[in-house]
Amino acid sequence: MPDHINTFSFEERIAYLREYGSHCMSFSALQPGIHYFDMPGKGYIAYAEKWGIRGVLSDPVCDAEDRESLIGAFIKGGGRTGFAQVSEPVAELLHEKFGLYATQFGVESIIDLKNWDLKGKKKQVLRTSLNQAVKSGITIRENYQEHRYNELSREWVKTRKVRNREIRFLIRPMNMDYQEGTRKFFAYRGDELIGFIFFDPVYSHNRVISYVPNISRFSQSFRQGIFYTIMLQAMETFREEGVEQIHLGLSPFVVGDRDRHYESKITKKLIRSLYHYGNSIYSFKGIYFTKSRFRGKDYPTFCSHRRNVPLREIITLFKISNLL
């Protein structure tokens, strides 16, 4: 087992990422504090470890045909393990082949850029935000010479429910050593920086197929939907470049009424309760509301666990993510 931990060179890891990094969190798994279970010729699994529990982040970075053998080698002889934010095919594999529960953890929204437009009643808030920005003289630029975003971020953090620490794991840190392929869009009112969104690449077969807005910050001096305005400019830029999709990322704890046979009913009930009553910890409802305005397609995302009630795993995940 130890022979497979963190054995790839950084160049090898990036090569696997560009070939198989089609999950919206594949790039985020390059953040500090992550370990990797590496199998030459197949790919890797990204995970964090705390209190003797391994928390896997997202789908394995490998060909779909190699998932079973890679996951099997990772689980074999290892300690207590849970999987966070995995796709439905991986969740089903974890249940059918390895006997794990697979419980919906939220939804991942994806926009088909080729067929997306601003029409329709449901997108009125996007059009209104764009019009307000134009009237206010707001401009959006992709700018790699801008260095004031750390100061803006510090002011933004003071307005959050979790103010004294940066959330990680499920959200990557804003400043990472490796940022090749990321895109940075900034909003200005005159020379004043009032907001920004950083996008991470999503890969398949060595080309960018999508971007995901993983980091966003905004000034309290202009709050009229600046996220929407930056997103619309970035989406149009990506579409002109031939990018196929935009992944909007995870909306945590948003789950449907349908219960699958491989889900833990108790855990699902807990997740529903966290969505309805846990907004003092994190703005679960606000995140989903914002993303739903784009009218993308929602895909369920799952957590997989050995026990019916994985309380220790959930607490560990919250701790790893700095939510506790």
The string of pLDDT tens digits covering residues 245-300 is: 999 999 999 998 889 999 999 999 989 998 988 887 778 898 999 999 999 999 99
Q: Which structure tokens are listed for 272?
A: 């529903």
Task: Look at residues 193, 188, 213 and name the one whose alpha carbon lies nearest to residue 202.
Answer: 213
d(CA 66, CA 60): 9
CATH architecture of 111-248: 3-Layer(aba) Sandwich (3.40)
2-110+250-320 matches 111-248 in fold? yes
Strands 207-218 and 245-252 turn out to be parallel
Q: What is the per-residue pLDDT across 29-63, written as a single tens digit (0 to 9) for each?
A: 999 999 999 999 999 999 999 998 999 999 999 99
Q: What is the per-residue pLDDT across 181-226, written as a single tens digit (0 to 9) for each?
A: 999 999 999 999 999 999 999 999 999 999 999 999 998 877 667 9
Q: How far is CA 177 from CA 168, 174, 180, 182, in A?
A: 15, 10, 9, 12
CATH number for the segment(s) 2-110+250-320: 3.40.630
What pLDDT is attached to residue 154? Answer: 87
User: Where do we find the tokens 């784009």?
Assistant: 294
Q: Residue ranges of the domains in the chain?
A: 2-110+250-320, 111-248
